[in-house]
Amino acid sequence: MSNGSFPPEPGRRGGTLAIVLAALIPACFAGWLLWSSLGDAKDDGADGVGAPTTSSTSSPSPPSSGVPAVPSPPTPSGNASGKRSGGPSGKPLEGKVVVIDPGHNPHNRDHPSQIARLVDIGTDEKECDTTGTATNSGYAEASFTLDVARRARTLLEARGATVRFTQDGDRPYGPCVDERAEIGNKAHADAVVSVHADGAAAGERGFHVILPKSVRGGGADTSAITAPSRRLGERLRSRFAKATGSEPAQYIGDGSGLNVRGDLGGLNLSTVPKVFIECGNMRDSRDTAELTDAAWRERAADGVAQGITDFLNE
């Protein structure tokens, strides 16, 4: 004490250090929390799987030029060549007009005098219409033709075609054969198919397609339609055989399934491609078993519709 200084207070240096450390530790911990939260904010992956990793040494992205990116032109619809199928909807028969002529009429039998009157078929005169044939059990050809025609209409319309009938069971009789031809002509049909079933002798089986003969006389002139009608008939023959499993009739012509005739007003007076199809023989028990079966008639309609489709897509 002789020099006047005070001796150090016991424990003073250790207490000061403790105070400094107590102040620094919370500050450091807060700083670490802030750094950690900023680092987490850089990862925008929802769960970290597949999230891009950013290197701290990567070059910064170049500044935007301000010019918006030009989108790539859309790929044209259609097939690989870019050619569209059918019309705007892509349906194969869009824009096509098809007339289906269900042979005879279920009500013809109630109007014998009207259907017996003669009409001009260009090269001759023939009855307005007939009752058609029937199976031994009484299933009428006119009922068969309407059923197949309606089924074919459904299939063709689904492909985009406009389908018109010469009659839909909604007329008292007919129409007459000359009017049937006129309906297709006025519609400017791309194809006309008249649906029938034959009434040949028992034991004769199969189907056949009737083609127009080249005739000219009176109001008949088939010179412009014989070639396209043959193509229509050939497509129909092929598709009908495939759809139904039926064989071409051997009792008609040369057994090819194609028969050319010049005595049918529905063909003679047509100015558009037209054929008849005799789907089977209603007087044969084995053919009758098929003609009276709804599932077989659906296959027959599919054959008719596909034959028309093939022809119109040539």
Q: Which amino acid is at 293?
A: D
| Confidence label for 66 from pLDDT (cuts 50, 70 and 90) | very low
Q: Which domain holds residue 105?
A: 97-312
For residue 210, the cross-strand partners are 259, 276
Tell whether the model's pLDDT for residue 298 goes beyond 80.
yes
| Residue 251 belongs to some domain of the structure | yes
Of the candidates 185, 166, 307, which has an alpha carbon nearest to the alpha carbon of residue 235?
307
| Residue 293 belongs to some domain of the structure | yes
pTM of the entire predicted model: 0.73
| Residue 92 belongs to some domain of the structure | no
Query: Phi-psi bin for 50: left (phi > 0), alpha (psi -120 to 50), beta?
Result: left
| Confidence label for 15 from pLDDT (cuts 50, 70 and 90) | very low
Residue 286: per-residue pLDDT:
97
Residue 41: per-residue pLDDT:
35
Of the candidates 106, 242, 262, 90, which has an alpha carbon nearest to the alpha carbon of residue 174?
106
Cis peptide bond upstream of 175, omega within 30: yes
pLDDT tens string 216-227: 988 899 999 999
Residue 206: per-residue pLDDT:
98
Average pLDDT of the chain is: 81
| Residue 35 belongs to some domain of the structure | no
How many domains does the chain contain in total?
1
| Residue 40 belongs to some domain of the structure | no
**DSSP secondary structure string, 127-167?**
ES-----B-TT--BHHHHHHHHHHHHHHHHHHTT-EEEES-
Question: What is the three-class DSSP state of 262?
Answer: coil
Half-sphere exposure of 73 (CA within 13 A, CB side): 3
Q: Domain containing 249 — which CATH number?
A: 3.40.630.40
Tracing tokens 């050939």 back to the chain, one arrives at 234
Instruction: Measure the CA–CA gap between 254 and 206, rounded to whole angstroms.
Output: 13
In this structure, are residues 283 and 201 in contact, taking their beta carbons and an 8 Å threshold? yes
Across the range 193-199, mean pLDDT stands at: 98
Across the range 167-194, mean pLDDT stands at: 98
Across the range 282-298, mean pLDDT stands at: 98
| Residue 43 belongs to some domain of the structure | no
Catalytic residues: 278
Tracing tokens 């290197």 back to the chain, one arrives at 55
| Residue 176 belongs to some domain of the structure | yes
Instruction: Measure the CA–CA gap between 258 and 200, rounded to whole angstroms.
Output: 16
Q: In Å, how far are 142, 239, 250, 291 from 246, measured between CA atoms? A: 21, 10, 12, 11
Element (H, E) at 21: helix 12-40
Instruction: Measure the CA–CA gap between 96 and 164, rounded to whole angstroms.
Output: 11
Tracing tokens 């497509």 back to the chain, one arrives at 235
| Confidence label for 88 from pLDDT (cuts 50, 70 and 90) | confident
| Residue 91 belongs to some domain of the structure | no
Tracing tokens 């003969």 back to the chain, one arrives at 213
